[in-house]
Structure 1
Amino acid sequence: MHKLLYSENKENTIREIECISDSELLHVITGNYNWDNGFEIPYSIVNNKNCDLGTALLIFYYADGYRVLENSDVINNLNLKQWDNFISEIKERILNNKFQCNRIKFIPPLTKVQIFKFKKNNPNIDKVFLEESDGEVIEIPSI
């Protein structure tokens, strides 16, 4: 996995991720991904048919998707078009139940005050973004 995470060749890494059938492995890769390397790898993880809802929520959080939940106008920032597209697509896929696996628990790292503010600013916010998902907690070792 170390070779996969630190490979200089994104195309090879993406091809390898497409072949991963272990949803826990996708989750661990996500937990160790260096976001300075762009959206291609996380996008390939989300597009893997074995990507768990918990992993998709983790990607949404790691990609700073909660900024969109706080203020939906953030998504229309022309300077962040690639980020806008990435977050919008993941959010829609989560809301439309496009992740078949739901075995990995995601616990949003939000305080009760943050959750209250989210709900106050956006009463229509879906609970999937604010509450723990089903499944078991998967420890993410540092690689």
Structure 2
Amino acid sequence: MNNKTTVTHGEKLQELKDLLYSEDNSKIITEIINKNPLDLHILAANYNWNSGFEVPKAILSNENCDFGTGLLMFYRADGYRLLESKDAFSASTSSEWKEFISKLYERILDNDFSNKSISFTPPLTKVQVFKLRKSNPSNPDVFLEKSPGDGIEIPVL
């Protein structure tokens, strides 16, 4: 007889929710090491950015982190401000945020992700894209256009 247990989709989502809302960051980071690209994307999409950068850094450090997840995190962490005005970005008093966004910006530009299976569409209107291109023609298209991969519906945890 096979005693192998099967984890249902609902159980998997509950496991991710329990992890995300754990108050023990070291536990979250330890668990993130073993997550697949989809789990990392769901965690990143549901992350509360008021909780700091430790968990997002762990997600990005996982070799399974997808390019689409990196782009999602860039926007969720307000990377739009860098695209909008490098001067305003530089004037920010949050050195931790600036370092996080700068490193993520470079990593996206360098295409430093092993997977491109999950698509992410930047949450920009056509007018915003036009204004970003007009005000700063050097803004790379990779930050303004849908990333490669399959679109997924992100569940709310």
Using the size of structure 1 for normalisation, the TM-score is 0.96
Query: Does the alignment pair 1:13 with 2:28?
Result: yes
Counterpart position of 1:58: 72
Query: Which residue of the other structure, out of 113, 122, 131, is the alignment partner of 1:108?
Result: 122
Larger radius of gyration: 2
Letter in 2 for 1:35: W
Q: Distance in 2 between matches of 1:75 and 1:12?
A: 32
How much has 1:38 moved relative to structure 2? 0.6
Moved beyond 4 Å, runs of 4+ = none
CA contact (8 A) 1:75 1:88 kept: no
- What CA distance in whole angstroms lies between the structure 1 residues aligned with 2:137 and 2:106? 18
2:19 aligned partner, one-letter code? L
Any residues of structure 2 matched to 1:30-109 within 5 Å, and which? 30-77=44-91, 79-109=93-123
Structure 1 position 19, deviation (Å): 2.0
Distance in 1 of aligned mates of 2:99 and 2:91: 11
Count, aligned residues: 142
The whole-number CA distance in structure 2 between the counterparts of 1:78 and 1:68 is 10
What secondary structure is seen at the aligned counterpart in 2 of 1:79? coil
Maintained 8 Å contact 1:77/1:84:
no
Deviations 1:101-131 (A, max 9, x none): 0011111111111101100111111110001
Gaps of 5+ in 1: none
Q: RMSD of aligned C-alpha atoms?
A: 1.0
Percent identity over the alignment?
50
State the distance in 2 between where 1:49 and 1:77 align. Answer: 32
Structure 2: stretches of 5+ with no match in the other structure: 1-15
2:136 maps to what in 1?
Answer: 122
> What's the CA shift for 1:78?
5.3
